[in-house]
Amino acid sequence: MVGAVDPRARPGDVVRVLDKGDHPVGRGLFNPRSQIVVRLLRASDAPLDDAFWRARLGAALELRRTLRIDESSDAMRLVHAEGDRLSGLVVERYADVLVFELFSLGMFQRVGRIAELLTGLLGPPAALDRPGRAAAAWRRVVRADEPIERLEGFCVPAATERVGPVVIREHGVRYRVHPDTGHKTGFFCDQRENRARFARLCRDARVLDLCCYTGGFGLAARVIGGAREVTGVDLDEAALETARENANLNQVRIDYAHADAFNYGRQMLANQRRYDALVLDPPKLATGRAELEPALRKYHDLNALALQLVEPGGLFLTCSCSGLVSFDAFLATVHAAARRSGRELQMIDATGAGGDHPVLLSCPESAYLKALWFRVLPRGG
């Protein structure tokens, strides 16, 4: 939809966007090699100067303060890209560490200044293990996925000094996070409220956490919810090692299995093993439109298998973090999976990410996380 480009514009530059009548549309970050040629940051002709960045970052922080997330956790998303009108930038807080995840060349070129402004607005990090005192300064990590770097044309330099693992707290549960090396930014803050709610429904339950990553749901069920027994399953060996560390950190016993979810589920079916509560939270299955149909088939197969492992009357929570999979498509896929497995479901709720992952109505694609809550009805009931 770009008709013409000023030849002076360079990749990463701030550019003015004009309509066909040469009327200003706004200003944004330009990259001709990207799938998103201009990431529009403001719908006016005002400059993208320090005052702009300070105002946008300040508005993002004010939302998190209003939500009072810090009362339950010292881990949260401080900047949610389009949701905070800062397309191409995600910032997570883990205790005294800030992780900047970049999705555009323009943000990569400006991340140093953005970090300076953000830390100035935040003030020093509170040292939660030493009430009344403060850590000296924020530690920073800058990350980007390799496919994004190739597509956008930048490369985040290897860190000269790694921050190492950091311990965060969420609803009374402690988690060890690896901001340098973990998947994405090291942890999934988007499931914070879903983890707490799932835990409250697991009193004295036998729980299976399929695709458990570093153990979030299962650990919450054990520590907060008082689950009788918890099993976590994942194919990522490094993530499982962190999950075991997290169980030890909270002084609870959880059984972890290094296995493919399909293989483990079929083995449990053969063993006639059933669970009172099951959460299925696989990684992103559709990263591009070409992968949408294969992803829906995999969601169908995973859910059909998982449903057969839930006791009649049990709780089933199934999630999708694939933004390309719509809510309606995911719900229809789970419904088809239930029919295939011979189970009937009562839907008790549908949720998404926490409030620190706001959705701008003009960019509904940022509502990527879908969490569907069901009671599995007895057969023939």
- Residues assigned a catalytic role: 321
To the nearest 10 degrees (0 to 180), the angle between helices 192-200 and 216-223 is: 40
pLDDT at 160 over 80: no
Encode pLDDT of 226-246 as tens digits.
Answer: 999 999 999 999 999 999 999
Do residues 41 and 13 make contact, with C-beta atoms less than 8 angstroms apart? no
Tell me: pLDDT of 134 over 90.
Answer: no
Q: Taking all residues of the chain, what is their mean pLDDT, rounded to a whole number?
A: 92
CA 353 to CA 331: how far, in whole Å?
17
Q: Is residue 197 pLDDT above 90, yes or no?
A: yes
Q: What percent of the chain has pLDDT over 90?
A: 83
- Both tokens of 21, joined, read 């009548």
* Nearest partner of 123 among 153, 93, 143, 152, judged by Cα: 93
Q: Quick one: pLDDT at residue 232?
A: 97
- What does pTM read for this prediction? 0.92
DSSP string, 170-184: ETTEEEEE-TTTSST
Mind listing the pLDDT tens digit for each residue in 31-57?
999 989 999 999 999 999 999 999 999
Task: Read off the pLDDT of residues 321-359 as tens digits, 9 standing for 90 and up.
Answer: 998 899 999 999 999 999 999 999 999 999 999 999 999
- Are the beta carbons of 102 and 88 closer than 8 angstroms? yes
Q: Report the share of the chain in percent with pLDDT over 70.
A: 96
- Residue bearing tokens 């694609």: 365
Please report the domains of the chain, with CATH numbers, ordered by start residue: 50-160 (3.30.750.80), 188-377 (3.40.50.150)
Residue 19: both structure tokens together? 């309509």
pLDDT at 162: 78
Q: Which helix (H) or strand (E) holds 340?
A: helix 327-341
Dist CA 351 CA 342 (whole Å):
25
Contact by Cβ (8 Å): 138, 122: yes
365 vs 322, more confident: 322
Residues 169, 196: contact at Cβ < 8 Å?
Answer: no
Given pLDDT bands bounded at 50, 70 and 90, which one contains residue 133? very low
At 185 the pLDDT is 77
Host H or E run for residue 197: helix 192-200
- Per-residue pLDDT for 118 more than 70? yes
Cα separation, 369 vs 325, in Å, equals 9
Tell me if residue 122 falls in helix, strand or coil: helix
